[in-house]
C-alpha cells in the first residue's frame, strides 16, 4: 500500500505539478522532509504511529520513502496548484487535500499498514492534516513565521502526548 501511495503521488506530480518552477517550492519541500525526519528522531522509542512495511522493504525504508519522495512531492503538487487569491477556493482546496490525506491514512489503517500508539488515533492524524496544510502554505509565503509556529506546535504535541524529550 505504501508503494502504491508513492507511485500515485509520483504520477500525480508528473501529471499536474509545476515541474518547470519546482525551485519556487524547494524550501517548503525541504521543510516537510525535516519535519518528518524530526518526528522520527524526537519520538524514537516513543512513537505515536508506526508504518508497517510492504513486502518489498522494511520499516526504515518505508519511512525514508515517505520522507524523501512522497511528502515533498505532495508539497510540490499542493503548492503549485494552490488557488492564488479567492479565499473560498483556497478553503475548498485545503479541504480537498485534508480529505485526500485522511482517506489515504484510513486505507492504511484498514489494511494494517499503520497503527497508533501512545494515545494517538486516526482522528489526531486528521487534525494534524488540518494543521499541516495551512502550515505548508504559511511556510511558502512566510517561512520565519512558520518556523516559529512549528516550534510551538512540536513542543505542544510532545507535551500533550507526553513524549519524553530525548
Domain count, the chain: 1
Q: Which helix (H) or strand (E) holds 116?
A: strand 114-116
Lowest-confidence pick of 30-34, 51-55, 73-77, 103-107? 51-55
pLDDT of 49 strictly over 90: yes
Cell triple for 126: 486528521
Report which secondary-structure segment, H or E, holds 102. Answer: helix 87-110
- Residue 28 to residues 3, 32, 128, Cα–Cα distance (Å): 23, 6, 17
- Of 94 and 58, the one with more pLDDT: 94
Distance CA 161, CA 129 (A): 17
* 89-102 average pLDDT score: 98
Q: Band of the pLDDT at 166, cuts 50, 70, 90?
A: low
Polymer length in residues for the chain: 166
**Would you say residue 147 has pLDDT above 70?**
yes
Q: Which domain holds residue 133?
A: 1-161
Strand partners, 116: 49
Q: What is the pLDDT of residue 55?
A: 78
Q: Which residues pair with 51 in a beta bridge?
A: 114
Task: Render pLDDT for 55-72 as a digit per residue (tens, 0 to 9).
Answer: 767 888 999 999 999 999
pLDDT digits (tens, 9 = 90+) for 108-119: 999 999 999 999
pTM: 0.94
Distance from CA of residue 57 to its chain's centroid? 21
User: Is residue 166 a part of any domain in this protein?
Assistant: no
Amino acid at each position: 500500500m505504501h508503494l502504491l501511495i508513492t507511485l500515485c503521488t509520483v504520477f500525480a506530480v508528473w501529471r499536474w505539478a509545476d515541474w518547470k518552477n519546482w525551485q519556487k517550492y524547494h524550501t517548503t519541500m525541504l521543510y516537510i522532509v525535516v519535519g518528518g525526519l524530526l518526528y522520527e528522531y524526537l519520538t524514537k522509542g516513543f512513537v505515536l504511529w508506526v508504518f508497517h512495511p510492504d513486502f518489498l522493504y522494511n520499516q526504515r525504508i518505508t519511512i525514508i520513502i515517505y520522507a524523501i519522495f512522497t511528502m515533498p512531492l505532495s508539497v510540490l503538487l499542493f503548492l503549485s496548484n494552490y488557488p492564488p487569491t479567492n479565499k473560498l477556493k483556497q478553503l475548498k482546496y485545503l479541504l480537498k487535500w485534508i480529505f485526500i490525506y485522511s482517506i489515504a491514512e484510513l486505507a492504511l489503517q484498514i489494511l494494517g499498514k499503520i497503527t497508533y500508539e501512545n494515545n494517538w488515533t486516526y482522528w489526531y492524524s486528521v487534525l494534524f492534516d488540518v494543521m499541516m496544510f495551512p502550515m505548508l502554505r504559511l511556510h511558502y509565503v512566510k517561512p520565519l513565521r512558520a518556523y516559529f509556529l512549528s516550534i510551538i506546535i512540536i513542543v505542544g504535541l510532545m507535551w500533550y502526548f507526553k513524549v519524553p524529550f530525548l
